[in-house]
Amino acid sequence: MANELFLGRSVTKAPAPLALDPDDLMTHGLIVGMTGSGKTALGILLIEELLKQGIPVLAIDPKGDIGNLALAFPRLAPEEFAPWVPAGGEATPEGEAKKWTEGLASWGITAADVASYAASREVTIFTPGSRSGVQVDLLGALAPPPDGAESEEGRDLMTAFLGGLLGLLGRDADPVSSREFILLARCVEEIWAKGETATLESLVGAAAQPPFGAIGALPLETFFPKKERDGLVLGLNSLLASPATSAFRGGVPLDIDALLGGGPGPAKLSIFSIAHLSDPERLFVVATLLSRVRSWLRSQPGSTSLRALIYIDEIFGFFPPSGEPPTKKPLLSLLKQARAFGVGTVLATQNPVDLDYKGLSNCGCWWVGTLQTERDRRRLADGLTDAAGLTDVDALLNQTKKRTFLLHDVHRKGPEIFETRWAMSYLRGPMTRDELTKLKKAAPAAPASSSAAAVAGSVAATAVAAAAPAPPKPAAPAGPPMLPSEWPARWLDRRGGDRATPYLWVKSAVRYKSGKGTSDEITTTKLFPLDAATPREVVQGDVLDLEGKELLDAAPRTLSYSDLPSWLGTKGVKEAEKAVKERLPDLLATTLLRDPLSGILSNPDEGEDDFAARVGEKAKPSAALVEKIEKKRRDLAAAEQAEKARSMETMASMAGAAFDVLGGLFAKKKSFKVGKVGGVLSKRRMEGAAETKIETLKAELEELEAKVAAPDPARFEKVEVIPTKTGVDILGVGVAWVS
């Protein structure tokens, strides 16, 4: 197992190590599991094993957990744990050191193994848009591609760069329909044609005074009048001047070859921590990274073995089934093309419905943990059935639990259930920006002569490199922008960031109806990004369900705030609320269970067992039904008793008739008593009618008893239900500031 990835032990087979060939990841991977299933821990194990093999990893960390990979303590001593154990809590450095030592020992891993692993990798935590970690320049420049602007690489780089810029401005970035995108693309082409690098500064100048008079077949003033262009120029200039975006333009240059190119020395782990960013900023960072990786790939030779891995710890919002965020195209390209260059991609998500199905079909390794909803189970079950031809997916998924996963690998003979091993890194939870700063300060200072690129590539094994001193932090705004009086403000502390993005929040009560059945009333809160051009477009965007999280009445800390859309006035509020009322029923559509006998309908998220118990409770028979069943039982017993007596009488008559017939045959005087034979036949006909009556009574009794029997979940039907507009009551609407 020296060259394999040790992830845990098999449960399917006799207890044995579960090892994975690194080259299996060239067909990419998907990790799925609800919160608490051990999904992120599995991703960390995977990265640990790759680094031990000398394979570099670029990890995108939207939640802040992947930074735990910098916390591998060679001696497993309490003093190593002490800086990372919160003071005043139940956990102590001594207790955590003992816990980790014993946990690793149960898997045959010693402190010497951890020390060897820690020495085998270099960890750099980049923090785009922040100086808490290593600052990286993402807005600085866009150099002309070697093959020219018309090359596929040139178009891809331009699309990602401009899509990210326009996303930060909250403007449409569609390469076909967006005037802003088409104008800036022409400006970049003109700059590249001179052999110059496109910078934000040069784009501001080119957009203000375009070096061309027409776009396509139309004059520039017809296509994009100057008065409207000025708004775009002012927005770009704000990006250039804003302290909030200046951190995207300083720091080390983004050099993918330095991060993933390999070479002598420890394997590099480059973590891009983006938990502190707003959603548009995240899209910009991830789109830029993936596009640069894709561009770098095309300059690499082919490979038949894994040479690097891209890991994204939460794919939500980056690769949706519908919509085209700037991250989607480069990510799909990596899934389709990176294998030829020996680069694998592993995606992780809580909800498989957040992932485009084309992404599922391009993943050869699936790790499936405990899933939260029936919809998620069905999506994965359908995918596994299509991809692997499995017929017992539900039985396999039922075996998953915390830290226990179903592994489907196209390179293995069949699926396996396995338990993940103990991590060598100290999994202490998401790391805040203050903790990243503490980690950076603990690192030895870089030599004064080292360049920015060298600083990024020579990080100590368990800490990040030092960065330039941070300038004074600008004062945060006193409060959020003013809202229309009709809409109250709320706050959602989703990722612990310092910048808040506006969402439309809608709280509603819904009751589902199907046939005669009606569900209990439930309340739900949904958030819609307020970055659309019109009120009606808001409710067509990606929906964020709170899933139990509560909105706060006040900001959780001092925040800076993104701008509100210009249409947000009294008229816009009314249009948005009207659009919400029309859209909500479709968004609240779901699949429920219905009992065909009683007509009772399940409640959302109510499992089969709970529903069966409720049906049994509600279907208790009335006194009249019980009396009817008892009467039917008495009628049946009487009919069976009468039939038994009739059968004995018939047998006696048959015997008498037979005796008379025999006597007539052998007596001297021949005489047959036909009357007795006819009586026997008549009794036989009566007996047949009685048997029919008995069968009818039995069937009627079974039908009545079924109504009072404990329900069998197998009889339940699955029904798609969409609430009517009258079945949805809107309880509240406003703006939620999500940080």
Contact 278, 122 (CB under 8 A): no
Q: Which two tokens stand for residue 666?
A: 């052998």
Q: Is the pLDDT of residue 319 over 80?
A: yes
Question: Which of 136-145, 170-179, 568-577, 666-675 comes out lowest in average pLDDT?
Answer: 666-675
Q: Is the pLDDT of residue 239 over 70?
A: yes
Question: Which of 426-435, 441-450, 489-498, 601-610 comes out lowest in average pLDDT?
Answer: 441-450
Q: Which two tokens stand for residue 34?
A: 């609800």
Number of H helices, E strands in the chain: 23, 27
Contact 18, 7 (CB under 8 A): yes
545 vs 524: CA distance, rounded Å: 8
431 vs 123: CA distance, rounded Å: 15
Contact 281, 325 (CB under 8 A): no
The amino acid sitting at 532 is A
Which has the closest alpha carbon to 173: 280, 329, 332, 325? 325
pLDDT band at 459, cuts 50/70/90? very low
Q: Quick one: average pLDDT of 598-617?
A: 84
Which has the closest alpha carbon to 149: 180, 190, 177? 190
Cβ-Cβ contacts under 8 Å for 240 (sequence gap 6 or more): 200, 201, 204
pLDDT band at 180, cuts 50/70/90? very high
Contact 198, 211 (CB under 8 A): no
**Rg of the chain (C-alpha set):** 35
Q: Is the pLDDT of residue 422 over 80?
A: yes
Q: Quick one: average pLDDT of 239-262?
A: 82
User: What pLDDT shows up at residue 567?
Assistant: 82
User: Which range in 73-82, 261-270, 555-564, 604-613 is most confidently predicted, on average pLDDT?
Assistant: 73-82
Residue 437 burial (CB count, 10 A): 18
User: What pLDDT shows up at residue 296?
Assistant: 87
272 vs 136: CA distance, rounded Å: 9
174 vs 181: CA distance, rounded Å: 7
Cβ-Cβ contacts under 8 Å for 164 (sequence gap 6 or more): 138, 283, 284, 285, 287, 288, 326
What does the domain layout of the chain look like in residue ranges?
5-138+248-457, 141-244, 489-589+722-738, 628-708
User: What pLDDT shows up at residue 675?
Assistant: 54
φ/ψ of 271, rounded to 5, equals -100, 125
User: What pLDDT shows up at residue 343?
Assistant: 95
Q: Is the pLDDT of residue 412 over 80?
A: yes
pLDDT digit string, tens, across residues 503-533: 998 988 898 888 888 888 888 899 888 877 7
Task: Give domain 5-138+248-457's CATH number out of 3.30.70.2740, 3.20.20.70, 3.40.50.300, 3.30.1490.190.
Answer: 3.40.50.300
Question: Which of 19-28, 146-155, 230-239 comes out lowest in average pLDDT?
Answer: 146-155
Please give the mean pLDDT across all residues of the chain. Answer: 81
User: What pLDDT shows up at residue 311?
Assistant: 97
